[in-house]
Amino acid sequence: MFQGNTDPYPYIVAAYMVGFLSIAGYTAWLVINRYKIKKLLNVLSKGIQNETK
Amino acid sequence: MIILDKKQLITGCIFFVMLMLAWYWSLFVVTTEEHQGDVYRIIYLHVPSVFTAFLSAFILLCMSILGLWKKSYKSVQVGLASAEVGLLFTFLGLATGSIWGKPTWGTWWTWDARLTTTFILALLYCGYILLWNSVQSNLMRIKVCSVLGIMIAANIPIIYKSVTWWRTLHQPPSIFRRGGSSMSPEILSLLLINIAIMLAIGIWLIIQRYKNITLGEDLEEESYLQIRQQEGG
């Protein structure tokens, strides 16, 4: 049953905060993850180059 | 060092700005719904999230069929990316639905058919990720993950029809139904815009996650080769 007397604004703010934080958080995690992998790949390729020299 | 190439960065930024504009429109511009009041505005986040979770399951289904048919490892890599993004949006759908449920139904959660089947979808996505990480052999990974991927997609029609098959607290379909949508054109058009943007973000996230998976496996291979070289030399 619809609870018409409830103040809706805290619920709206909470829902959109959860939405924003989930999407932004996952995107940030992907970018950090990509940065770490690329950094390690660079270190490895430099190591191989030094060895071949 | 370039983390994201220019094209990926620009498309990501465009989708993000579009989402923020759509949310601004949803929160401050569109008219208030006459029965529920302002709390109905959560629909512009809740429904697009669930649709994106469904899209992820559809991509997972296609990749699983392809995986079983062609024995392609690439398809289960895309499958893992879809399952992760699907889990994110299923969580978002459940969380926003729960927040919407408190002021409208008077409860955060109830074990009705729609909510329970969606919760099962989240568990299945978790199961797919766990299975993918626990199986080491590529061929075995293709087989078992593809079978689970098909089972996950089979849950989607059950979730969609749950509100008509069983008596639930959740409202029946209001967008795709016989006789047209029950929503006003203004509310419906903004909802469809929000769905389109969220689907685009979902696809963008799946592509980015897929690239991370392939790069991570390149890294593993390269470090293995280097260890082999050091041992040999």
Three-state DSSP string of chain B: CCCCCHHHHHHHHHHHHHHHHHHHHHHHHCCCECCCEHHHHHHHHHHHHHHHHHHHHHHHHHHHHHHHHHCCHHHHHHHHHHHHHHHHHHHHHHHHHHHHHHHHHCCCCCCCHHHHHHHHHHHHHHHHHHHHHHCCCHHHHHHHHHHHHHHHHHHHHHHHHHHHHCCCCCCCCCCCCCCCCCCCHHHHHHHHHHHHHHHHHHHHHHHHHHHHHHHHHHHHHHHHHHHHHHHHC
Checking if the pLDDT of B142 tops 90, the result is yes
Largest CA distance in chain A: 76
Q: What is the pLDDT of residue B225?
A: 83
- Min Cα distance A36 → chain B (Å) is 9
- Min Cα distance A46 → chain B (Å) is 11
Could you count the other beta carbons within 10 Å of the beta carbon of residue B203?
Answer: 18
Checking if the pLDDT of B167 tops 90, the result is no
The lowest-confidence range among B3-7, B49-53, B64-68 is B3-7
Q: What is the pLDDT of residue A1?
A: 47
Cα B157 to Cα B196: distance, rounded to the nearest angstrom: 20
Q: In chain B, which residue's Cα lies nearest the Cα of A3?
A: B104
Those residues of chain A whose CB sits closer than 8 Å to some CB in chain B are 1-4, 6, 8-9, 11-12, 14-16, 18-19, 22-23, 26-27, 30-31, 33-35, 37-42, 44-45, 47-48, 51
- 3-class SS at A13? helix
Q: What is the pLDDT of residue B131?
A: 95
The two three-digit tokens of residue B100, written as one number: 């919407």
Q: What is the pLDDT of residue A4?
A: 57
| Closest CB to B3 among A8, A38, A47 | A38
pTM attached to this predicted model = 0.91
